[in-house]
Structure 1
Amino acid sequence: MRVLNNATYTTKQAAINILCEEFKKNNHIDAELYKYFDVKRGLRNADGTGVLAGLTLICNVHGYVVNEGEKEPIEGELIYRGNNIKNIVKDCVDNKRYGYEETVYLLLFGVLPSKQELEYFKNVLAMYRDLPEGFIEDIILKTPSKNIMNKMASSVLSLYTYDDYADNTSIEQELRKAIEIIAKMPTIMVNAYHAKCKKYDGKSLVIHPIKPEESFAQSILSTLRYDRQYTEEEARLLDMMLILHAEHGGGNNSTFTCRTLTSSGTDAYSAYAGAIGSLKGPRHGGANIKVMEMLGYIEKGVKDWNDEEEVADFLRRIIRKEEGDKSGLIYGMGHAVYTKSDPRAVILKQNAMKLAEGTDFEAQFKLLETVERLTPAIFAELKGDTKVISANVDMYSGLVYKMLGIPEELFTPLFAVSRIAGWAAHRMEEILTGGRIIRPGYKAVTKEKKYIPLSER
């Protein structure tokens, strides 16, 4: 007799628990079948490379070379429209200027703007920063969310209602929507955060007006902080974060989600909201929060942060699932493409350490450096895994945000604020060059059964 027969329950959750047991019994797939049918789980080849699903002009994420059929590790490179990210960041740092708006222009239009073109583009973005009349009150303040990513996704979907051409997918309308949503994302994020603080944290509601003359990074800090005060060093560091997170190829989960939704012919708001939902996941954009959580475990569990052997012992216990969140993962280490290095992590660490020196954050940065240095050898020791691994951008981004006084619940939303530029570029490229709905196959492994009438079950 099945568990559902004559089942009794007293609460809704008890009813779901009973149904859940029934679900589990009938939804198991033997892992060996994936090998038998050569299924590329996660759209990954056996060597870890991604299944080739399309062509793009937008970005190249280069982390290895294939020599006579075998992957060889190399130093990682991130190329935006043919421009190495190292050169983009270096020029901004050397000249002490903000570069995210220029990066958005590059990703959308495929070329670096002239001074006149950049100034014009900045003015256009500034025109679109404000939200529609009544939007903050009706969409954000009346239904605040504990999770800012969810509120951002629902807010982007709500913008559909305010657009008379929401379903028009011409390039002219798509470009207008892209620019508008890129410009509005920081405004949505900050107001969603302030609404959350008022509703759930008992804080006063503060909504600052937009200053159109401020850069994206300046405006975020200005509207986020109650006193609107920030230093240029802080704003330029945040600007660097926005540049580094703006794009990462068509194969990352959120961008592929955006392209998949786009291929169905759906509207821009649905595609971008879907990408936000993807980025929220801890295996994707939410990883920097997990790094900070792991750092907290290490700080409490290691008495002397400068004792590398003590740190190493704690890392071994994490991998054995004895410490931390018991997942066995060292967060911030390893990447699907990069091998020897993640250029974003290298750039971020170099520049952030300069601001951390002499502050309370310096010791934490050095502790993360120790984790980065020790982890590869410990993995090889405990798991026999000699694959070359390095720190990814999440290893240091959370601590940089913390150093800027940005609350943890905004770590991943800031990622979305930046990455919307890449999503927009890929959506329009998919519209122009895709031509087919994205539809991978799934092998059915259940056998046909004789139907049993209800009266006989």
Structure 2
Amino acid sequence: MKQEYIIYKLSESIKTTSRIDPDLFVKYNVKRGLRNEDHSGVLVGLTKIGDVVGYERLPQGGLKAIPGKLVYRGIDVEDLVKGFYAENRFGFEETAFLLLSGYLPDKEEDEVFRSLIATYMPLEQKTKMNILDLEGQDIMNILARCVLEMYIFDPAPDDTSRENLIRQSIELIARFPTIIAYAYNVVRHSRQGRSLHIRHPKENLSVAENFLYMLKGEFTDLEARVLDLALVLHAEHGGGNNSTFTVRVTSSSGTDTYSSIAAAIGSLKGPLHGGANKAVTDQFLHLKETIRDWTDVQEIDDYLMKMLRKEVYDKKGLIYGIGHAVYTVSDPRALLLKEKARELAVEKGREREFAFLELLEERAVGCFMNYKGNQVNKRVCANVDFYSGFVYDMIGLPQEVYTPLFAMSRITGWTAHRIEELNFDSRRIIRPAYKNVAELKKFLPLKKR
């Protein structure tokens, strides 16, 4: 029997042996995807780091839709962003300090923390050479590989003391921008045959500025400030999102920081988690080419309804960027990023595209509720991905770095959750249960099978 046939036969067996009857989930009251019937998340833990608010539970049962709130360590992210605007400061570094420590730094602490990030931002020579030599075509894969490699250079990689966890966290936050920028330049060099040009980080620049400098050289002040805002808004989103939960699950086993973070990168790489902004970007490009009159509400509605009916575009019945697991009335991240996108559109001469995107948001929400409102049984809104891809495109970022950019921001939340998981007074490894629904079978000797 040929090896190829065995592979085929095994793959065919999966059709039945790996299928679970959906009715069994109802029979045994199993929450698929750790989701309740109303699509809200099943409570599996406690945290002081981030809070995602999109509805209220009513005393008589059911949910009440409310404007969305995102809270970092007890501080509304909207207040945080407004504070950065008022003092004309880059806020990502201060956000990282807040998430790691639980409090806002004073002026001296802020300056020292920023200098620490600048100190850790350059890579070890061997890591740089491995990015160049091993190459690769996927930046998320390269990022995970480099994170695992950091274990080798760490003098105490398995030490889970609080001081060591903080040091490791700051190093990871500092090095992600450099790894991603280097990796992109290598990928571009490999694909396009362009000359390889590596720029090293500068001590006097913020994380957002350094990333733009390393990636493309020149950038405007508004580009850097909009990117800084995007980093602040993506830094943390509660312990229940897939990649952060991955960090908490792996950390609960006692594994090292680098293994845990590499696992989170693998989770974020999945298109259902970290690839949404790219999906929205591709969708927007399609709609720009397909809709003849960008101001014609009827033409827009007709086409969006065809998308929901799985008749056009990718025929999946989705409008990417619309809807969220928690947010109902509004996604605060989308509202904040949208206003900066408006400013950037003016700088780039792309006001007409922005107006079209804004109209698409309005019509898409309406069409979705008209077509699927009874199925989802809750209000929906545009999420942050609806605008983030357009923002990144205006900044001049290639699509290959969209998901890595998400990781570059979310590493702050990941490390904060790892620290919290490892500092519970009575720790337990996270071990949920699965109900076995297979039928019992008798063993037969090999010659009788």
Q: Same fold (TM over 0.5)?
A: yes
Structure 2: gaps (5+ residues)? none
The equivalent of 2:278 in structure 1 is: 289
- Measured in 1, the distance between the counterparts of 2:302 and 2:279 equals 20
The equivalent of 1:148 in structure 2 is: 139
Contact 2:323–2:383, Cα closer than 8 Å, also in 1:
yes
RMSD of Structure 2 on Structure 1 (CA): 1.5
Contact 2:373–2:379, Cα closer than 8 Å, also in 1:
no
The equivalent of 1:126 in structure 2 is: 118
Q: Identify which of 210, 223, 227 aligns with 1:219.
A: 210
Written as runs of structure 1 = structure 2, the 5 A alignment for 1:326-365 is 326-357=315-346, 359-365=348-354
Shift of 1:281: 1.5
The equivalent of 1:47 in structure 2 is: 38
- Measured in 1, the distance between the counterparts of 2:19 and 2:325 equals 27
Aligned-partner SS, 2:68: strand
The equivalent of 1:206 in structure 2 is: 197
- Tell me whether 202-211 or 73-82 shows the greater mean CA deviation: 202-211
Shift of 1:366: 2.1
The equivalent of 1:84 in structure 2 is: 76
Written as runs of structure 1 = structure 2, the 5 A alignment for 1:224-239 is 224-225=215-216, 228-239=217-228
- Measured in 2, the distance between the counterparts of 1:247 and 1:277 equals 17
Structure 2 vs 1, CA of residues 84 and 380 (structure 1 numbering), >3 Å: closer, same or farther?
closer
Aligned-partner SS, 2:379: coil
Written as runs of structure 1 = structure 2, the 5 A alignment for 1:8-407 is 16-68=7-59, 69-137=61-129, 139-225=130-216, 228-357=217-346, 359-385=348-374, 387-407=378-398
Q: Give the % identical residues.
A: 47
Name the TM-score, length of structure 1 as normaliser: 0.94
One-letter identity of the residue aligned with 1:80? Y
Shift of 1:425: 0.4
Structure 1: gaps (5+ residues)? 1-5
One-letter identity of the residue aligned with 2:417? H
Could you give the per-residue CA deviations for residues 97-152 of structure 1, whole angstroms, max 9, x where no partner exists?
A: 10100000000011111111100111111111111132201x21111121111110
Could you give the per-residue CA deviations for residues 43-101 of structure 1, whole angstroms, max 9, x where no partner exists?
A: 11122221111111111111111112210000000111111111111122232210100
Contact 2:65–2:378, Cα closer than 8 Å, also in 1:
no
- Measured in 2, the distance between the counterparts of 1:272 and 1:151 equals 13
Shift of 1:375: 2.2
Aligned-partner SS, 1:134: helix
Shift of 1:381: 3.0
- Measured in 2, the distance between the counterparts of 1:317 and 1:356 equals 29
Number of residue pairs aligned between Structure 1 and Structure 2: 445
Name the TM-score, length of structure 2 as normaliser: 0.96
- Measured in 2, the distance between the counterparts of 1:316 and 1:89 equals 36
Q: Identify which of 437, 441, 444 aligns with 1:449.
A: 441
Structure 2 vs 1, CA of residues 176 and 358 (structure 1 numbering), >3 Å: closer, same or farther?
closer
- Measured in 2, the distance between the counterparts of 1:418 and 1:383 equals 33
One-letter identity of the residue aligned with 1:78? L
Shift of 1:358: 6.6
- Measured in 2, the distance between the counterparts of 1:22 and 1:124 equals 54
Shift of 1:197: 1.1
- Measured in 2, the distance between the counterparts of 1:145 and 1:365 equals 35
Shift of 1:275: 0.8
Could you give the per-residue CA deviations for residues 234-275 of structure 1, whole angstroms, max 9, x where no partner exists?
A: 111111111011111111111000010000110000111111
Aligned-partner SS, 2:116: helix
- Measured in 1, the distance between the counterparts of 2:408 and 2:372 equals 37
Shift of 1:359: 4.0
Shift of 1:16: 3.9
Structure 2 vs 1, CA of residues 327 and 16 (structure 1 numbering), >3 Å: closer, same or farther?
farther
